[in-house]
Amino acid sequence: MSNWLHHLPVLWMAFVIFGAVYLIAAGIYGIVMVLATAERTRAFKAISPGMLPPLGVIFGLFVAFLAAQVWHDFDQAHTAVNNEASALRDVVLLASSFPGEPEARLRALVRRHIHEAVTQEWPAMAQQRATLTRIPGPLAEALRLTLDLTPQGNGQVNAQRNMAEKLENALDARRHRIIVSGSRINGVKWAGLLIQAICMLFAIAMVHCENRGTAAISMALFATAAAVCMLLIASHDRPFTGEISAGPGVLLQVMPEELKPTPGP
């Protein structure tokens, strides 16, 4: 689906999707009823109503497969953001083991990384333009600073080791969220779902061509169900795009008393 649709609020997305599906259903209804002359009506009526359940099952399988992909990607996006925030919070807590300039520099680097993630990476992920070519400078610098520390005592040795591990975890989580931000349902899958819905609408119209009222009601019911499925999938299709998306709120909670940047769109 087009980028502009995914950036719409859910209410407007619903308006567009329901309107498009109802328009297609109305067009199919009009075509079949115009073609349903005496001879063609007999041909249409010869189509067995037993075709409707298999077509409905195939449509349901399409929806299930697409929904499984969307839900998985959406959960992966939230998991990546939560893991990154958790790792950064641990770094902030462990930094207190090195009071003075090291702690201040580590906190500043974490704060800078979160600010860049929210103001630069999130808008890029929303547009699916984020890539792994850019190295997160603040995290890389924080990792170098951690490894250059000279610990004194077992407590600082353990803190240094844990901080390095948590920074690596944060880097891995960032890579994961950027990779997931590029996930989407491709055009072939959307086309397959739409074609299957159109086939179902044609079959309903032909089976009930002698009773226009029954055909209209049956087609309206299926069109509504199909539109609901498409809306649910489209609104969750891109994990970092649109009104329903994985936001940076958890990252902003890492250092709420110091960091209050304005999230990007």
Residue 94: per-residue pLDDT: 92
Question: What's the pLDDT tens digit per position in 122-156?
Answer: 999 999 898 888 888 999 999 999 999 888 888 88
Does a structural domain hold residue 184? yes
pLDDT band at 41 (very low <50, low <70, confident <90, very high): confident
Query: Which positions ≥6 away from 127 have C-beta within 8 Å?
Result: 3, 241
Over residues 219-247, the pLDDT tens digits come to 999 999 999 999 999 999 899 988 888 99
Q: Residue 258: pLDDT band by 50, 70, 90 thresholds?
A: low
Structure confidence by residue, pLDDT tens digits, 9-25:
999 999 999 999 999 99
pTM comes to: 0.83
What pLDDT, on a 0 to 100 scale, did the predictor assign at position 264?
44
Predicted confidence at residue 265, as pLDDT, reads: 41
In a domain, 175, yes or no: yes
Domain that holds residue 43: 3-252
User: Does residue 10 belong to any structural domain of this protein?
Assistant: yes
Q: Is 84 inside any structural domain?
A: yes
pLDDT at 83 (0 to 100): 96
Query: Does residue 126 contact residue 265 with C-beta atoms inside 8 Å?
Result: yes
Number of domains in the chain: 1
Is 116 among the domain residues?
yes
Which whole-number Å values give the CA distances from 9 to 131, 242, 245, in the listed order? 26, 7, 11
Whether the pLDDT of residue 261 is over 50: the answer is no
Over residues 27-40, the mean pLDDT reads 84
| Of 112, 113, 92, residue with least CA distance to 103 | 92
Inside any domain, residue 230: yes
As a whole number of angstroms, the distance between CA 26 and CA 212 comes to 12
Neighbouring C-alpha atoms within 13 Å toward the C-beta of 250:
16
Burial 227-242, CB ≥16 within 10 A → b, else e: bebbbbbbbbbbbbbb
Mean pLDDT over each residue of the chain, to the nearest integer: 89
Tally of CB atoms within 10 A around 180: 23
Residue at 263 is within a domain = no
If you compute the radius of gyration of the chain from its CA atoms, what whole number of angstroms results? 27
Is residue 157 domain-resident? yes
User: Is the separation of the CB atoms in 223 and 28 below 8 Å?
Assistant: no
What is the Cα–Cα distance from 210 to 32, expressed in whole angstroms? 11
Helix (H, G, I), strand (E, B) or coil at 9: coil
